[in-house]
Structure 1
Amino acid sequence: MRLPREAPAWLRRAGEKRIEFGADYNPEQWPREVWAEDVRAMREAGVTIVSLGIFSWARLEPAEGRYDFGWLDEIIDLLHANGILVDLATPTASPPPWLTTKHPEILPVDREGRTVWPGARQHWRPTSPVFREHALRLVRALANRYANHPAVAAWHVNNELGCHNAHDYSDDAAVAFRRWLRRRYATLDDLNAAWGTDFWSQRYTDADQILPPRYANGPVNPTQQLDFKRFSSDALKEYYLAERRILREITPDVPVTTNFMVAGDINDMNYPDWASEVDFVANDHYTRPGPQSRDELSFSANLCGNLAGGRPWFLMEHSTSAVNWQPVNPAKLPGELARDSLTHVAHGADGVCFFQWRQSRAGAEKYHSAMLPHAGTSSAIFRAVTDLGARLRSLSGVAGLRRTPSQVAVVVDYESWWAAEQDSHPTDRLRYRQEALDWYTALLDAGIRSDVVPVHTDLSGYRVVVAPILHLVPDALRQRLTDYVAAGGHLVTTYFSGIVDENDHAWLGGYPGALRDLLGIRVEEFAPLLDGETVTLTNGATGTLWSEWLEVTDPAVKILAGYAGGGGPAVTRREVGAGSAAYVSTRLGPQGLAAILDDLLTPAGVGSELPPELRGKVELAIRGDVRFLINRTPHPVGLSALPGAPAKVPGRGVVVLQ
């Protein structure tokens, strides 16, 4: 895989290293007299870069083919005069009313055949040739206009591609889906074999018979669903590439990116597949309330750092405080604005930006927090923002440093995520990312630094690889994992792993299918648990969601924990030379996983890099020779055990040891 370029342009400026700091800026929402006030406050806060023009299509092209760049010229010049860089967006995320009125055929269609009407954003089909014609014409005009402007540091393609239009079931999508399938399958017979179309008399005799998996009176063909997810991610990526081609043609020296959404349960875009197509990885992340909220932020930042191949990346959006789109939107607690920001930096971010600079007066996001809130510069948020700007300036030596790999990897596989959560499965309660996050939290609780890595990563440098719910295992991946263990690596996987191949066909011979021989176990039938039902393990841990009747097939397998009451093995480990392959057959959650971690990590020689009194309280992240100590608690934590450290890290605070 071709990795993103070594560093964004602003990191390659002669004699200058810094962590960029800023926000989305929407001056078109405000009268001109506010602009100068904005820039003065930006300078006070230490802002160095803003993303500009993201939702400005209707302003830039008020009628078809008639452009108005005057206001954008003015604001870019004003920013440049004040030393603020511009991450210039192509404003194609939200088509203007004149376009949707004239061409309603660009509007997406949902699974039930309903048109997605204007009124929000991203009301366009990724596969619409009409939309593409209009959008790319605007992109070309914008690139020509600002090709040589010294303020333009990067191109920001569209915005959060797929946030609201990842899956379009329109006729345009049907045509593009068939075209995609022709590239994937050499013949219609190959497609019929891959989709198992002899089930329910679905066999196709002509490609025009194939449709997206629209609403049906029962479960839709699972391989058709899986391929449509693959196609939909590719269609959005293809749209990004169409814009990128124009930008690179006109401005070859300006890096191009688009903002990912590595956060929560968002998985419609296969970001490991996209990462090599951006000149630097950029991400939008928003926390969600819950006991693992802080760990989820760390997990996502960690994954972004590894999507970037360890190179620096850019936090394009997060929030200073409350958001507006959850059922209840609590404000951040004191210290969380800085801690959240610095956690991203700890995992490789060389840019920290927020949505947005000035809190809107009107529109759907007027209650979304910003760097400059409704309360103005005389506010706690603005003071915290200004303090963060100063803190980031003091960390300029961190800019450009790569993430330092750990000894443990937690593997994320988007295709397993897609396939494992499809319908007609043993349970619809399974949540792929939650299981991965539980392992990450358990490792943090034990003081173990781990890397969250895409499945295609070279795993040979890791002593332990945790691959939870690795549901979809093609033969090539099966062989990679077998070779990893044979070479002395220690693999840990879980329930519902190794079950199907790349076509979502079950591996025969018993579960866990492709991994059965490597693990030395066999399962004939799953035993998913009902809501509220639990199982108790012989080590005292409690399992939920899933259990199995597991048979040991290799005498080299050791039973690390069983199901109480004679229920058979629950957690096993098979030694293979200097390596091993372990299996966890139920969901244990972070607390239950803590009871088995020593048995899994000690044989691999993996231990904590933190003193015992800090483990679980403090997260350690390392970039180059710089250590970040991130307080996971609301209380101060003493650091006397660390030479050269201050006396303590404040509650919800971060200490950086350079």
Structure 2
Amino acid sequence: MCAIAGEGVTVPAIIPRVTGLCYGGDYNPEQWPEDVWVEDVALMREAGVTLATVGVFSWAWLQPAPDRWEFGWLDRVLDLLHAGGIAVDLATATASPPPWFSTAFPASLPVTADGRVLHHGSRQAYCPSSPDYRAAALTLVERLAGRYGDHPALALWHLNNEFACHVPACFCDTSAEAFRGWLRERYGTVEALNDAWGTAFWSQRYDDWSEIIPPRATPAQHNPAQALDFRRFSSAEVLSLCVAERDLLTRLTPGVPVTTNLMPTFTGLDHWAWAPELRGEGRLVSTDHYVMGDHPASPAAQIAFAADVSRSLAAGPWLLMEHSTSAVNWQPRNFAKPPGRLVRDALGHVARGSEGAMYFQWRASVSGGERWHSGMVPHAGTDSRIWREVVELGRHLRALADVDGATVAAPVAILLDYESHWAQEQGSQPSADMTCFDEIARWHRALWRAGIAADVAHPEADLSRYPVLLAPALYALSDAGAANLTGRVAAGAHLLVGPYSGVVDEHDRVRTGGYPGALRDLLGVRIEEFYPLPAGATVALTDGAHGHVWSELGRANDARVLAAFAEGPVAGSPALTRRRHGAGTAWYVGTRLSDGFLGELLADVTAGAGVTPTLPGTPPAVEAVRRSHPDGTSFLFLLNHGDEPATVPAAGEDLLTGGVWAGPTQVPAGGVVVLREAAAAAPLSQVPAQARPAAVEAA
């Protein structure tokens, strides 16, 4: 990525061989005759492509038999791309073992909880714990590094592909033995494991490590702690594959950065454990995101959440490695994007920190399981709306080169713990409607509608730069996490906690003495009993608001009751409370408020902390996001998601058109304006402590 970002500002090149923002996508030349390859490179140049991901699913072409290697075709592809000025993100191709491998090593195939073997014939047909798979994969990686490590086209290594998206866990005997080894390292003794898992229940006490198996199909519910630990193990086991490839490539080709495409809204992995392994010198966090057509949230809100999670995981530069030009192929109804959305969706990610926009895939396939997935070159060819918008986006990304390296400063952190999500969404909970991840995204949408930028963060992370902390769904909370939140509130932060939070520890053991358990004293409330609501039912509160899904019986000890439940068996119990603690404030809401009332509550909490929208006065249909460089150079992205032009109280040079707005700025219907602001305040994190508002400094 570029080394120039604003006048007088130098940003270290994350991908040294790519200048400016990255643009391109997955390129699968093995699906096409060679006479198409030359045309592909010419079209990439026309579109402004700077980076092509090559070889993701090419293992069977690189190694068609155990003792035969064929690299000639890939040599020609990389040479063609380099001659066309296009850098290569070269995949290790380990994401899909070829049929010969699965035939030769049947024990490497993954097994489901009910004992079904998942055979080759699609992709990702391997057990993460298989030593045969690991050995073959690393041999392939070593061969690729030896042949292409010095190739002038090589700009980035792409490890595997979407790790664990189809097989987040394997239950075979090899995995069982690996699980036992992981447990021995975690607990040390069987006695300690019995205590953590609560095996006194249902006669589950273990006397020897050999008795322990993964949570395979059983007559009734699994031990929750066992199932939670297996999720942790499975995420760690897949991560070990990623780290093994990364370390081998770092040793063999030390000058070439590495990445893999995470999926932060996919909850099969603990991305807080993964992201640190992809940060730092010679590493890059990249992510994939696809809009869900039947999701209750708008595409723009989905993109904003995914991008904010990606930026937070990266804690620095990140790259959108995959999204779609139009329809995908794997949803029940695969909707095409209307005109204009291809550009707006891509720039929505760039606005929130991505160092470019990449796609799956370059040329739409004509065969295979993804033949109906859109591409940069669609089935209709270049005489198509998609192609014209692809070329338009390429022009825009070239015009935004100076944005590369600029960051987004967010004053709010939404607390997200993947392990807590795993625990909460196991069976035998008080209500199946008390989902976790969707609720976190819903709170994010409320902030998005208000124009307030937000990060996500783990509850045990350093939260000192955030004046506002939100915990929509934090079912499981460790003592360390509870102490961290208590300390931040004492130091001046404003914390809002949602219902059913803090009620169990990291082993999914209930914290006794009254809910919300680990946060009971901080919040100043004591809940005795949960009263889930019937499907679709609501409950009235004394302040005129309504809750859904959840209510609870309890009392406020030393918290101020702002609203109580007004009806039903919990009438009179606190529904919304506030308590001062040290220099900060801890809020608690004991039900799930409807979207409108949730927005009003978040407005009260953020206003009390001195947090304001990115651009006050922005029309509701316009999304405003600011990226800034350390010297104060800033870029204001204005994305109009409405059907009418909008007037925005902003001024600056529009990088996409070259025009200058003295203010206000007109944003076309469905369009995007990116302003280089003449003079903008430095991001909050860059402001010297003595210059910060008191409410912020206290946090």
Classify the TM-score, shorter chain: over 0.9
| Alignment correspondent of 1:124 | 126
Counterpart Cα distance in 2 of 1:153 and 1:8: 15
Quote how far apart the aligned CAs of 1:168 are.
0.5
1:451 to 452, 455, 464: 455
1:546 to 547, 550, 555: 550
CA deviations on 1:517-568 (whole Å, 9 max, x unpaired) are 00000111111112122112233332211111131011xx222222223442
User: Could you tell me whether the CA contact under 8 Å between 1:573 and 1:580 is conserved in 2?
Assistant: yes
| Alignment correspondent of 1:300 | 306
Tell me which amino acid in the other structure corresponds to 2:671: G
Quote how far apart the aligned CAs of 1:606 are.
2.0
Corresponding position: 1:76 with 2:78: yes
Tell me which amino acid in the other structure corresponds to 2:616: P
| Alignment correspondent of 2:36 | 34
The structure-2 alpha-carbon separation of the partners of 1:169 and 1:188, relative to structure 1 and needing over 3 Å to count, comes to: same
Secondary structure of the equivalent of 1:612? coil
| Alignment correspondent of 1:3 | none
1:388 to 377, 390, 393: 393
User: Could you tell me whether the CA contact under 8 Å between 1:257 and 1:282 is conserved in 2?
Assistant: yes
**Within-5 A mapping of 1:246-265:** 246-263=248-265
Quote how far apart the aligned CAs of 1:640 are.
4.6
CA deviations on 1:68-95 (whole Å, 9 max, x unpaired) are 0000000000000000000000111111
User: Could you tell me whether the CA contact under 8 Å between 1:619 and 1:632 is conserved in 2?
Assistant: no
Counterpart Cα distance in 1 of 2:247 and 2:446: 44
1:648 to 666, 671, 686: 666
Corresponding position: 1:268 with 2:268: yes
The structure-2 alpha-carbon separation of the partners of 1:17 and 1:78, relative to structure 1 and needing over 3 Å to count, comes to: closer
1:337 to 333, 342, 345: 342
Corresponding position: 1:584 with 2:589: yes
User: Could you tell me whether the CA contact under 8 Å between 1:446 and 1:616 is conserved in 2?
Assistant: no
Quote how far apart the aligned CAs of 1:616 are.
6.2
Secondary structure of the equivalent of 1:39? helix
Quote how far apart the aligned CAs of 1:312 are.
1.7
User: Could you tell me whether the CA contact under 8 Å between 1:435 and 1:589 is conserved in 2?
Assistant: no
Number of residues of Structure 1 aligned to a counterpart in Structure 2: 645
Counterpart Cα distance in 1 of 2:430 and 2:365: 46
Corresponding position: 1:347 with 2:349: no
| Alignment correspondent of 2:445 | 441
Tell me which amino acid in the other structure corresponds to 1:24: D
Quote how far apart the aligned CAs of 1:612 are.
2.9
Flag structure 1 segments of 5+ consecutive residues without an equivalent: 1-5
Secondary structure of the equivalent of 2:537? coil
CA deviations on 1:115-151 (whole Å, 9 max, x unpaired) are 0111111010000011111111111111101111111
Counterpart Cα distance in 1 of 2:138 and 2:618: 57
Tell me which amino acid in the other structure corresponds to 1:173: S
Alpha carbon RMSD of aligned pairs, Å?
A: 1.7
Quote how far apart the aligned CAs of 1:613 are.
4.9
Counterpart Cα distance in 1 of 2:554 and 2:643: 42
Counterpart Cα distance in 2 of 1:608 and 1:538: 29
1:638 to 610, 632, 647: 647
The structure-2 alpha-carbon separation of the partners of 1:94 and 1:646, relative to structure 1 and needing over 3 Å to count, comes to: farther
Counterpart Cα distance in 2 of 1:81 and 1:245: 30
2:166 to 141, 164, 167: 164
**Within-5 A mapping of 1:227-246:** 227-246=229-248
Counterpart Cα distance in 2 of 1:575 and 1:35: 66
Counterpart Cα distance in 2 of 1:641 and 1:242: 49
Quote how far apart the aligned CAs of 1:447 are.
2.5
User: Could you tell me whether the CA contact under 8 Å between 1:197 and 1:204 is conserved in 2?
Assistant: yes
2:492 to 485, 488, 492: 488
CA deviations on 1:561-587 (whole Å, 9 max, x unpaired) are 222234422111111233111111111
Quote how far apart the aligned CAs of 1:384 are.
0.1
| Alignment correspondent of 2:99 | 97
CA deviations on 1:31-89 (whole Å, 9 max, x unpaired) are 00000011111110000111000001111001003100000000000000000000000
The structure-2 alpha-carbon separation of the partners of 1:483 and 1:568, relative to structure 1 and needing over 3 Å to count, comes to: same
User: Could you tell me whether the CA contact under 8 Å between 1:529 and 1:545 is conserved in 2?
Assistant: yes
Secondary structure of the equivalent of 2:284? coil
Choose 291-300 or 31-40, whichever is displaced more: 291-300
Counterpart Cα distance in 2 of 1:652 and 1:542: 34
The structure-2 alpha-carbon separation of the partners of 1:294 and 1:81, relative to structure 1 and needing over 3 Å to count, comes to: same
User: Could you tell me whether the CA contact under 8 Å between 1:17 and 1:399 is conserved in 2?
Assistant: no
| Alignment correspondent of 1:397 | 402
Counterpart Cα distance in 2 of 1:89 and 1:645: 46
The structure-2 alpha-carbon separation of the partners of 1:352 and 1:380, relative to structure 1 and needing over 3 Å to count, comes to: same
Counting aligned pairs with the same residue, the percent is: 50
Quote how far apart the aligned CAs of 1:422 are.
1.1
Counterpart Cα distance in 2 of 1:645 and 1:352: 29
Runs of 4+ in 1 over 6 A off after TM superposition: none
User: Could you tell me whether the CA contact under 8 Å between 2:406 and 2:628 is conserved in 1?
Assistant: yes
User: Could you tell me whether the CA contact under 8 Å between 1:48 and 1:83 is conserved in 2?
Assistant: yes
User: Could you tell me whether the CA contact under 8 Å between 1:444 and 1:619 is conserved in 2?
Assistant: no
Counterpart Cα distance in 2 of 1:326 and 1:58: 28
TM-score by length of 1: 0.95
| Alignment correspondent of 2:539 | 535
Counterpart Cα distance in 1 of 2:377 and 2:636: 31
2:326 to 321, 334, 356: 321
Choose 95-104 or 214-223, whichever is displaced more: 95-104
Counterpart Cα distance in 2 of 1:113 and 1:560: 53
2:608 to 599, 603, 613: 603
The structure-2 alpha-carbon separation of the partners of 1:631 and 1:541, relative to structure 1 and needing over 3 Å to count, comes to: farther
Choose 313-322 or 346-355, whichever is displaced more: 346-355
Quote how far apart the aligned CAs of 1:595 are.
2.7
Tell me which amino acid in the other structure corresponds to 2:358: C
| Alignment correspondent of 1:471 | 475
CA deviations on 1:584-611 (whole Å, 9 max, x unpaired) are 1111242220232233223212222423
User: Could you tell me whether the CA contact under 8 Å between 1:444 and 1:616 is conserved in 2?
Assistant: no
User: Could you tell me whether the CA contact under 8 Å between 1:645 and 1:657 is conserved in 2?
Assistant: no
Counterpart Cα distance in 2 of 1:187 and 1:134: 34
User: Could you tell me whether the CA contact under 8 Å between 1:9 and 1:153 is conserved in 2?
Assistant: no
Secondary structure of the equivalent of 1:280? strand
User: Could you tell me whether the CA contact under 8 Å between 2:621 and 2:640 is conserved in 1?
Assistant: no
Quote how far apart the aligned CAs of 1:10 are.
5.5
Counterpart Cα distance in 1 of 2:19 and 2:458: 29
| Alignment correspondent of 2:686 | none
1:516 to 516, 520, 540: 520
Counterpart Cα distance in 1 of 2:342 and 2:12: 25
Secondary structure of the equivalent of 1:130? helix
User: Could you tell me whether the CA contact under 8 Å between 2:300 and 2:348 is conserved in 1?
Assistant: no
Secondary structure of the equivalent of 1:627? strand
Quote how far apart the aligned CAs of 1:458 are.
1.5
Counterpart Cα distance in 1 of 2:556 and 2:90: 58
User: Could you tell me whether the CA contact under 8 Å between 2:561 and 2:574 is conserved in 1?
Assistant: yes
Counterpart Cα distance in 1 of 2:320 and 2:507: 35
Quote how far apart the aligned CAs of 1:7 are.
8.0
| Alignment correspondent of 1:620 | 625
